[in-house]
Amino acid sequence: MEKVDVIIPAYRPGEEFAGLLDALCSQSYPIENIIVMNTEEKFWNPKWEDAFPKVKVTHLKKEDFDHGGTRRAAAKLSDADIMVFMTQDAVPADQDLIQNLIRPLQENPKVGASFARQLAREDCAYLEKYTRTFNYPDKSSVKWEKDTAAYGIKTYFCSNVCAAYKKKIYQEMGGFIEHAIFNEDMIYAGTMAKKGYGIAYAADACVIHSHNYSCRQQFHRNFDLGVSQAEHPEIFAGVPSEGEGIRLVKKSLAYLVKTGHIWLIPGLIAQSGFKYAGYFLGKRYRKLPEKMILFCTMNREYWKKQEEK
Res. 7 pLDDT band, cuts 50 70 90: very high
- Where do the H-state alpha helices sit in the chain? 16-25, 47-51, 69-76, 97-107, 126-135, 148-151, 167-173, 184-194, 215-231, 233-236, 242-258, 265-283, 290-296, 300-308
Q: Give the angle subtended at the CA of 164 by the CAs of 159 and 165, to the nearest 5°.
A: 110
Per residue in 237-281, pLDDT tens? 888 777 788 889 999 999 999 999 999 999 999 999 999 999 999
Amino acid at 224: D
The predicted-structure confidence for 144-189, as pLDDT tens digits, reads as follows 999 998 888 999 999 999 999 999 999 999 999 999 999 999 999 9
The percentage of residues in the chain with a pLDDT greater than 90, rounded to a whole number, is 88
Q: Are 52 and 21 in contact (CB under 8 A)?
A: yes
pLDDT at 309 > cutoff 70: no
Across 182-209, average pLDDT: 97
Mean pLDDT value across residues 185-201: 97
Look at residue 242 in the predicted model and tell me its pLDDT. 76
Helix (H, G, I), strand (E, B) or coil at 31: coil
The pLDDT, as a whole number, for residue 237 is 87
- Looking at residue 307, what is its pLDDT? 64
Residues 242 and 283: their CA atoms lie apart, in Å, by 11
pLDDT at 32: 97
287 vs 242, which has greater pLDDT?
287
Q: How far from chain centre, in Å, is Cα 135?
A: 12
H/E element, 112: strand 111-119
CB 136 within 8 A of CB 84: no
306 vs 94, which has greater pLDDT? 94
How far is residue 208's CA from residue 116's CA, in Å, rounded to a whole number?
Answer: 10
Whole-angstrom distance, CA of residue 75 vs CA of residue 165: 10
User: Per residue in 102-124, pLDDT tens?
Assistant: 999 999 999 999 999 999 999 99
> Which among 278, 275, 277, 280 is positioned nearest to 131, based on CA atoms?
275
Percent of the chain with pLDDT over 70: 99
Confidence category of residue 301, pLDDT binned at 50, 70, 90: confident
Report pLDDT for 150: 87
Q: What is the pLDDT of residue 84?
A: 98
pTM for this one? 0.94
- Helix locations, 26-67, DSSP H: 47-51
